Structure formats: C-alpha cells, structure tokens
Structure 1
Amino acid sequence: MKAILMTAIGSPDVLQVQTLPTPILEQDTQLLVRLKAAGVNPIDTKLRQRGTFYPDRMPAVLGCDGAGIVEAVGSAVQQFRVGDAVYFCNGGLGGHPGNYAEYAIVDQQFVAHKPKSISFAEAAAAPLVLITAWEALYDRGRLEAGQQVLIQAGAGGVGHVAIQLAKLAGATVCTTVSSPEKAEFVTQLGADQPILYKQVDPVDAVLHWTKGEGVDLAFDTVGGAVLSQSFAATSVYGDVVTLLAPNTNTDWKTARDRNLRVSFELMLTPMLKGLVKAQQEQAKILRQCARLIDQGQLTIHVGQTFSLDQAAAAHQCLESGSMMGKLVLLID
C-alpha cells in the first residue's frame, strides 16, 4: 500500500511517499479499513517537528483521524461488517501506525459508523475535534444550559465544533476571530458574539458582553498568553479549560483570585495510556455526534483538501495559520 512515512524529525519534507505492506488482522476484534480520507491535525505537525511519543519506532506513519470502508473483519467482530463506512481516531502517535496511508488496522471498540449525510473527507476531519470539544465543554467544563461561554479561536478546527456543541447545550457563545470573514463564519455556526481580537481588547469585549461579570466557562484552544486572557475574562468561581500546557508567564494569580476551576483537555490521553474504557467512551461520543450530524444539528467544515501525496503541503498550510475548519488528505 501507499503511505506517508515520517522519516526523521524536521520540516514537512521529512514526510515521504513510500510503499509498505498492506497490514493484516492480528486480533479477532480488529477491522481492516480501506481509508478514503485522513484528517490533518496540529498534533501531527508537532510530532513531526519534535518527535513522536515512541522515538524508538521510527519511521512512523502519522495521522490520528481516519474514515473509510471496512474491508475485512476479525472473527469476533460483531458491530461491523465488510462494506461498512466508518470513522475513528486511532494511531498516528508513533506507536500504532496512523492514517496517512491507504489501509489501517483498528479495533472495533474504537470505531463508529460514519455519519450517512457527510462525505468521507468531512468524516475524516471530525473525530479528534469532536471528541476534544465534547470532553472540554461537557466533561471538563460541565457546561449547563443558560451559561455564557467564551471559545477562543472559534473558526478553527476545535473551535468551530465547540461553538455548535455549546449552543446545543443551551449556552450563549462569544468567540474570538481574526477577520470579518471568520466573524461571519462563526455567526452562521450559531455564535452570539464574535470578537475581532485584532481590533478590540478581547477581555474588555467579553466583560462588556457579560455586563462586567465574565463568562461562566472559557475554552482556550490557543495557549500561551490566551490562557491568561481567558482567566481575566471568566467570572468568579468560573471554569477555564485549556488544550495547551501553560507557559512560564501564565497569570495564575488572576486564576487564584477569581477562585477559578482550571482543567486540561487532551483527548489523546486514553490512547497514550492504553485506557480502553476511556477509548470506548470516545467512540460513544462519535456515535452520538454522528446522530447529531445526520439530524442536521452539527456540521464539520473542511477548509481545504490535499491528495495523500501532498501531505507535506498540507502540513505547510496548517503551520501557516489562519485556517477555517479542518484540513484533510484524500486517499484514492
């Protein structure tokens, strides 16, 4: 099969097209999936730049997100049949091979049926961001109807899904964006108050929107100074959830003075720690989101697609910033 190998740590040029043996089923609960598309996520570019979680297993096939058609099933598989369309987040961290390839092996426990109403490209764009936004808002942030939420970078991959999930929970949403085009995009997704952070101070804008109180929940998808900004924009006793590790300049004093509950969201933890039950819960999230998508209540925006051979170009595009939605590799 054709696959993209990360041959070394470095620039996008280390992503090389190679021919590898087509994987075979090794356990009776596994599926062989003929991939139709693979999502491209910031974690992919970080692993390429810094090294994978399993440096002794180089070269590596990146790509956590996949969507495709089941081509073979193990003898104990009960939930899927050959020909089923599926989507999942599995592999791609340097250990189990990822989805920048024509085929992937994945256990049935970690797979969900693809939403019927969307393309394979949209399905491949969805798993990591769906699980991340769902866990951040509903599990870490304990979002409730009637609350006010700040979503940082609402036009991005995680952000554009988080807006929709927050609205589905009955929250009102403000979100930071960099341009009028993105402001229109997030408004179409349901955001109540886009904040053009290059034109106004985001904290001032949030406090004005909340009549000086701050939001009940701030979701930081950016990191760095944006985490401290999120503390300042959150109400006393509020929640802040971040996807990134805090830097040395983080304003913990404001977080403490406001008695904030600060949570971290890393949806890769179950995969990294081998937490099977947690991975099963993430597959359940994908099943729930598939229903929402097919009911027209949740959409996935694909900003741009590339062929599998163009994986390096996709990484360059993602690293350039200013994306709306997700990038996807299409696999013939």
Structure 2
Amino acid sequence: MRAYICNAFGPLDTHGPGALPAPQPADDEVIIDVAAAGVNYYDTLIVQGKYQIRPGFPFSPGGEFAGTIAALGAGVTGFQLGQRVLAFNSYGGYAERARARARQVFPLPDAVSFDQAAAALVAYATAWFALYDRGRLKAGETVLVLGAAGGVGLAAVQIARAAGCTVIAAASTADKLALCQQAGASIGINYREADLKEAVKAATAGRGADVVIDVVGGAFTEAAVRATAWRGRVLVIGFAAGDIPRVPANLLLLKGCELSGVFWDEFLRREPDACHAQVAAILAGIADGTLVPPIHGRYTIEQAGEALRVLAERRVTGKLLICPGAGSTF
C-alpha cells in the first residue's frame, strides 16, 4: 500500500513516500481504510526521534485518522465492516490503511465528514480535556490561549467561547489574530509585539486570566503564569517555541495557581471510557455546528513531507490533512 515512510530518525527532508505491507489486525485491533489523517506537530517530532514514542522502522507518522473499517481482529465487538469511524494510534495514519486498538476507535456520526473528524480528534479532544478536565472550566471565566491560531488553539477558542467564557487569543501575526476572532475570541494579543503579561492584565482590568492554554512554551509560559488570576490554572500542552520552560515555583505560591500537564494520548490509554464520552460530546458539537474544525489544506500521501514542513515552519492557521484519495491498491 502507499504510505509516507520513515526508515530512520532524521530531519524532515530525509523521509518520503513509498510502499508498506498492508496491516493485518492483531487481537483487539481494527484496520481502517484511511480517508483523511490529521497532521499534528508531534508528527514532525516522531520522525526525528524527538518524541516520547519511538516506533520500530519502517513506520508512517499520523496519529489520528478517519475512514471505514476494513478488518476486525479477534475479540473486537461493537464494530462492523464498512462502519465509519475515527481512530487514534500515535502513528501509522499517513497511509492507505492503518491499525488502531479497538478501545481507541470512535464511531463517527453520519453528520460529521471524514475531513472534519480527522481535523478534530487530537486538537479538539486535547483542548476539551485541558479545559474541562484539567482546567475545570466554568462559564464566565476568562481564558487565555497561547498559539491560538493553531489546531489546538482554535479548538480551545471555540470550546471556551461555547462554554460562555471570554477568550483572549495570543498569536504571532495580525492575520492569525483575525482568524482567532472569527472563531470567537473577544480580544487578540500579538505576543511578538506586545508584552504578554501587561497586555493580559490590561485586557482584564488587572485581574488576569482564570485559565491559560499553553501550546507554545519557551519564555511565554512564565509570562502567562505571571498573567494569571488568583487560583488560575495554567495548562501545559506543548512547546511549539522549541524550548521547555522552567517556571519559578514562587509564582505558583504567590498566585495560588496551578500548573498542570495535559497529555491527551495517555488519558485515552488510561481512562478510555471518560475519553470516549468527551469525544462523543465533541462530535455532537461538530454535527450541530457548534464546533467547526478549520481546515487549512489537504495533501496527498506523496505531498506529506511538504505538509510537515509547512506545519514545522508555523505557516498554518487551522488543520492540515493527508488524504490518500482514490485508486488505492493493496
């Protein structure tokens, strides 16, 4: 089958399209004909050996994908051949077929397209888990989103807005901030031009943000902690800026605030029932139009390397998809 292949860890330009054997289902696994796979920042890391998961070679990146069930392994119940589904498996999605453990496969409502589903799973589930579970979000609170024009950022903007919160979007360009405001942000801050702490304080009459979504890291994390309100919750999701921050612990003490890690992959593995309930709520929100996953672009398997480069260079507003397309052979 066609796939985008990593034969050895290395820079993005050392990987490319090729052929892999079609996967066969092990016990409790589902094989899926991939219609669309989401492109995530960790995909750029996993092929370089910089992610916490290091697959055996050769492998294809792509942790989230949507399509129809092609085969069921022994012990799988509750699914049927041809069923529309959404799945997560850390890697394997940039291919015509991919495998996933049955407990990491989600039924897909007819009202949600494959593209919408693949654009939503990791970003929206991460944002939902961060805001509602780790952040205990309540209506009326103020939410600061760093990296607000990315996949998780825009998802957080939409979810927080739908929850009745005031959303402050922080991004690096005016165009990105305009997109965030279209998604529901009330206030935009260009954190390349303005002092993040002072801008948030000014936007909140000195009070600060109740909840912070941080997918950026670097120096912005400490600035965000300094911009939190009393009993604020800072939710650390990633480090797109490249540097892992060190936050002075005295700031947490003085503000009575929390600094929490958000690792959605592990939440899915350890607490699948709770995760399934959250994903079902997200898909219902997409089906009724409350949540609208923004899609930046679609790429073929042969173009996957370009998609990874575009994402790594932070030239994306919304979600990129890998779409294998028609004419598949196995």
Per the normalisation by structure 1, the TM-score is: 0.90
User: Contact 1:131/1:267 (CA < 8 Å) preserved in 2?
Assistant: yes
Cα deviation code 1:90-131 (max 9, x no counterpart): 231xxxxx2111111223321112343443223212111112
User: Contact 1:34/1:69 (CA < 8 Å) preserved in 2?
Assistant: yes
The reply on whether 1:323 has 2:301 as its aligned counterpart is no
- Given candidates 194, 198, 202, the residue that maps to 1:204 is 198
Amino acid at match of 2:315: S
Aligned equivalents of 1:236, 1:106: Cα separation in 2: 42
- Given candidates 266, 272, 276, the residue that maps to 1:279 is 272
Match of 1:79 in 2: 78
Matches within 5 A, 1:32-71: 32-51=31-50, 53=52, 55=54, 57-71=56-70
Distance 1:283 1:206, change over 3 A: same
Matches within 5 A, 1:1-12: 1-12=1-12
Distance 1:141 1:16, change over 3 A: same
Quick check: 292-301 or 319-328, which moved more? Answer: 319-328
1:49 is paired with a residue of what secondary structure?
A: coil
- Given candidates 118, 123, 129, the residue that maps to 2:123 is 129
Distance 1:51 1:202, change over 3 A: closer
Match of 1:14 in 2: 14
User: Contact 1:115/1:123 (CA < 8 Å) preserved in 2?
Assistant: no
Quick check: 125-134 or 75-84, which moved more? Answer: 75-84
Distance 1:181 1:117, change over 3 A: farther
User: Contact 1:79/1:108 (CA < 8 Å) preserved in 2?
Assistant: no
Cα deviation code 1:4-24 (max 9, x no counterpart): 221111112232323222112
Quick check: 119-128 or 161-170, which moved more? Answer: 119-128
Aligned equivalents of 1:321, 1:164: Cα separation in 2: 20
Match of 2:294 in 1: 301
- Given candidates 244, 255, 258, the residue that maps to 1:261 is 258
Quick check: 142-151 or 248-257, which moved more? Answer: 248-257
The reply on whether 1:184 has 2:178 as its aligned counterpart is yes
1:50 is paired with a residue of what secondary structure?
A: coil
Amino acid at match of 1:22: A
Matches within 5 A, 1:219-238: 219-238=213-232
Aligned equivalents of 2:135, 2:70: Cα separation in 1: 39
Amino acid at match of 2:175: E
Cα deviation code 1:264-287 (max 9, x no counterpart): 10112246xx53xx1343233222
Match of 1:167 in 2: 161
Match of 1:24 in 2: 24
The reply on whether 1:88 has 2:82 as its aligned counterpart is no
Task: Report the aligned-residue RMSD.
Answer: 2.0
Distance 1:83 1:225, change over 3 A: same
Q: Which runs of 5+ in 2 are unaligned?
A: 326-330
The reply on whether 1:151 has 2:138 as its aligned counterpart is no
Cα deviation code 1:229-266 (max 9, x no counterpart): 11111012211111137846534332332121110101
- Given candidates 132, 135, 140, the residue that maps to 1:141 is 135
Q: Which runs of 5+ in 1 are unaligned?
A: 93-97
Distance 1:65 1:327, change over 3 A: same
Amino acid at match of 2:179: F
Aligned equivalents of 1:316, 1:20: Cα separation in 2: 23
Distance 1:61 1:260, change over 3 A: same
Aligned equivalents of 2:67, 2:277: Cα separation in 1: 18
Amino acid at match of 2:10: G
Quick check: 126-135 or 70-79, which moved more? Answer: 70-79
Quick check: 15-24 or 127-136, which moved more? Answer: 15-24
Note the C-alpha offset of 1:329.
Answer: 0.8
Quick check: 155-164 or 246-255, which moved more? Answer: 246-255
